[in-house]
Every structure is written in structure tokens, then in C-alpha cells.
Amino acid sequence: MISKDTTAKEVVVQAIREFALTTTPDAYSLCEVSVTPEGVIKQRRLPDQLSKLADRIQLSGRYYLKNNMETETLCSDEDAQELLRESQISLLQLSTIEVATQLSMRNFELFRNIEPTEYIDDLFKLKSKFNCANLKKFEEVINQETFWVASEILRETNQLKRMKIIKHFIKIALHCRECKNFNSMFAIIR
């Protein structure tokens, strides 16, 4: 099973097992292929011990299993153009339900890691073994969401598109309310 802490080498081992390849894991490596806005294809081998792979990849990038003995490119020009197109998605193209669901899942993951004593420790400024770290992470996400909403709205110069973005955020906030994610709902409508 692949998780957040799975290393590039572990992904290679699992891929070899999954695809029933008969070679050793040393014959393969995990590579990242990305495309710049100018259409230049970049390919690099990832270090074996690199983890948090999902957090590191760009929208215009993909991971590939590469045979170390072969020199061919991993991504054709047509695939590169498709990658570039996929990476240039706007907020208005995203489903409001999906955005609200993803916000809620991320917030819940952070919320469930907060120790009950962190609230008391923070309220009374007490020192503890938990040091309120999880509570601070949760607060930071809410601040990021608020900043994200304001940035998306103000980045748009076209008045009609700006109005559509505001309407889109209102729909996201309504879906957050349905998910009982009041933190994101208030961060959006603030």
C-alpha cells in the first residue's frame, strides 16, 4: 500500500510486483516528468529515499517507472501537451462539491490529530508535551483558506469572471456547510 511516507524506492518495488516484472528493483527507478509553461519537457530520476511524493509533484508533472538500461524519453510531445493542458485548470472548472469535499477531508485529518489538552494548553498558555502543534497546524490551514479565497477573487481583473468566482466560492461554502465543515465555510465567506 502506498502512503504519504512511501519512498520512491518502495514505489518501484511495489510497481515491479504489481506489473509482474521479472527483474530486480535495482534495474528500475522512479522518474518525474514535468512540462514547463513554454512546453519544455523535463525528466529527472528521483532519489530512492524521497518520500511525500504526492506533495512534491506539480500539476504539470507525472511519475514514471523507468528501466535504467534504456535511454528513451518517458513522455511524448503529445503527452506533454496534454499534461500542460491539464495543469492549466481554473477554479471555475472544478466541481464545487469536490472542492468542498477535499477541504473537509483535509480539515478533518488535521482536526483528528489535535490532542484534547492542546485546547486548554493554548487557552491558558501552558507548556505541555504536545506544545499545541496540531492545533497550530489546524489554525494555519484555516488562515490559508481565507487567503486563498481573497487571492483568487482579487487576482481576476475581469469583473464578470470575478463575479463568477465569488458565486463559485459561495457554492463551495454551502457544500462545506452540508459537510458540517463550518471552519472552511466561514473561511470562505469571511
Claim to verify: residue 81 and residue 101 sit in the same structural domain: no
Q: Which amino acid is at 136?
A: K
Run means of pLDDT, 10 residues per run, the chain, 190 residues: 88 92 91 88 93 87 92 87 84 95 96 89 80 90 95 93 96 97 95
Claim to verify: residue 82 and residue 96 sit in the same structural domain: no
Claim to verify: residue 174 and residue 130 sit in the same structural domain: yes
Q: Which amino acid is at 108?
A: F
Q: Percentage helix, strand, coil, to 5, in the chain?
A: 55, 10, 35
Cβ(92)–Cβ(164) below 8 Å: yes
Q: Does 171 map to a domain?
A: yes
Claim to verify: residue 178 and residue 95 sit in the same structural domain: yes
Claim to verify: residue 43 and residue 62 sit in the same structural domain: yes
Claim to verify: residue 67 and residue 141 sit in the same structural domain: no
Looking at residue 38, which CATH number applies to its domain?
A: 3.10.20.90
Q: Does 51 map to a domain?
A: yes
pLDDT for the residue 83: 84
Q: Name the domain boundary from 42, 70, 87.
A: 87
Claim to verify: residue 128 and residue 159 sit in the same structural domain: yes
CB atoms within 10 A of CB 190: 11
pLDDT for the residue 51: 92
Claim to verify: residue 25 and residue 73 sit in the same structural domain: yes
pLDDT for the residue 130: 65
Q: Which amino acid is at 85?
A: R
Q: Residue 167 and residue 5: Cα distance in Å, rounded?
A: 37
Claim to verify: residue 26 and residue 108 sit in the same structural domain: no
pLDDT for the residue 89: 82
Q: Does 2 map to a domain?
A: no
pLDDT for the residue 36: 87
Looking at residue 124, which CATH number applies to its domain?
A: 1.10.840.10
Q: Does 114 map to a domain?
A: yes
Claim to verify: residue 143 and residue 180 sit in the same structural domain: yes
Q: Residue 172 and residue 188: Cα distance in Å, rounded?
A: 8
Cβ(11)–Cβ(2) below 8 Å: yes
Q: Does 3 map to a domain?
A: no
Claim to verify: residue 105 and residue 164 sit in the same structural domain: yes
Claim to verify: residue 185 and residue 104 sit in the same structural domain: yes
Which pTM does this prediction carry? 0.64
- Domain limits at 38? 8-87
What strand order describes the sheet that includes 41-45? 41-45, 28-35, 61-67
What is the tally of structural domains in the chain?
2
Q: Name the domain boundary from 87, 108, 140.
A: 87
